[in-house]
Amino acid sequence: MAQFSLSDLYGYFRFLRIPIIVFGLLYTLTDTRIGVHAVFEVINFVSPDEHPQYMPTNPAVPETATLKPVGILDLPDSVEQPSGLSVGEDENQLFLVTDQAELFELKGDTLTVASRVLMKNVPLVFRQGTIETVAIGAGKVFVSGDGGTIQVWKKLGVHWHHQKDIVPSGPDAAQVTSLSAMTYDENSQMLHFGTETGVLGAIDTRNGEVSILVLKGANKPERSLRDLEFVGMDIRDGRLFVLTATIPSILEVDLATGWINNLYLIAGNSDPAGLALVNNLALVLQDHEYTEPSPGIKAYQIPSLREGGTGS
């Protein structure tokens, strides 16, 4: 029988220690928030974000009013970098998705975490930014982001279950490469959607068929509505309220005609990320950097919304 001394074992450890250390570092960097923060800080330093900045001096359509926050809802510390927001079928219930592909169910005035589920079971660095929007309807939760495929989830008891995926189909499906805003219409069973490249439309939840909504309004000279980056939406009485990040604002769109009836600029929210309607309030998420404290959810009063009811 071969004999191993302590010096032999030490030699094997010395041989393996570098792979072990490398594996430990990779795991830390790809599956912990601190690690992801470090990775993306390095990426931003080496290759800074050079997305074009659409900041015209005037909005794309005539301004109706500038809205100021009337309140702020603080988010639990466990909710980091929320990217999408929707009011539940119970108005005391909010659903949020995060850049880490998490779905949070929040309840009550204090927004207590009632449940959490991970959308994609992969290391954190590969989940970053893949889930951008959430919508509630028909007892289900719809989430989407990169790729445009919509995951359908349902809560049975205390556990969340992935029901199916809805894949956009039809002649216009090519325009749905990613989704950044969604809301569910109970009457039509359609998911209205927006993209970061200025596309608005709807997806039939029964067969995935895509239809495009053509916006109509007074464009700013040499500025197309397609420049708008849609990051949130909700629906009320045949009107689609769409949050844009290009110029932080909320467009009120008539679904029957595509006309933009109102444009509300929103103050105090430089990088909006999600929208939900409750009564006459618009709840707006704000994006933030990894190392910054969460600014929470800001509430704005929408003049054209009547009192009562949720956004569904």
Whether pLDDT at 108 is above 90: no
Tokens of 118: 């991970």
Mean pLDDT of the chain: 80
> Model's pTM, two decimal places?
0.79
Selection from 179, 185, 181, 201 nearest residue 311 by Cα: 185
Q: For 220-253, b where at least 16 C-beta lie within 10 A, e where not — what string?
A: beeeebebbbbbbbbbbeebbbbbbbbbbbbbbb
Does residue 253 fall inside a structural domain? yes
Does residue 175 fall inside a structural domain? yes
What is the rounded CA–CA span in Å between residue 273 and residue 33? 20
The residue segments making up the domain with residue 260 are 52-301
Note the pLDDT tens digit of each residue in 183-241: 999 999 999 999 988 889 999 999 999 999 988 765 444 455 667 789 999 999 999 99
CATH number reported for the structural domain that contains residue 187 in this entry: 2.120.10.30
Does residue 312 fall inside a structural domain? no
Number of domains in the chain: 1
- What was the pLDDT predicted at 139? 92
Note the pLDDT tens digit of each residue in 241-261: 999 988 899 999 999 988 888
Q: In sequence order, which ranges of the chain are alpha helices (DSSP H)?
A: 6-31, 33-46, 124-127
Whether pLDDT at 308 is above 50: no
Whether pLDDT at 34 is above 60: no
What is the rounded CA–CA span in Å between residue 139 and residue 121? 24
Environment class of 77 (CB within 10 Å of its CB; exposed 0-12, middle 13-18, buried 19+) = exposed
Which DSSP helix (H) or strand (E) runs through 95? strand 93-98
Q: What is the dihedral of CA 59, 64, 65, 70, to 10 degrees?
A: -110
Whether pLDDT at 121 is above 70: no
Instruction: Tabulate helix, strand, coil % of the chain (nearest 5).
Output: 15, 40, 45
Does residue 35 fall inside a structural domain? no
Does residue 9 fall inside a structural domain? no
Does residue 160 fall inside a structural domain? yes
What length does the chain have? 312
Does residue 264 fall inside a structural domain? yes
- What was the pLDDT predicted at 9? 47
Note the pLDDT tens digit of each residue in 62-91: 788 999 999 999 999 888 889 999 998 887
Does residue 275 fall inside a structural domain? yes
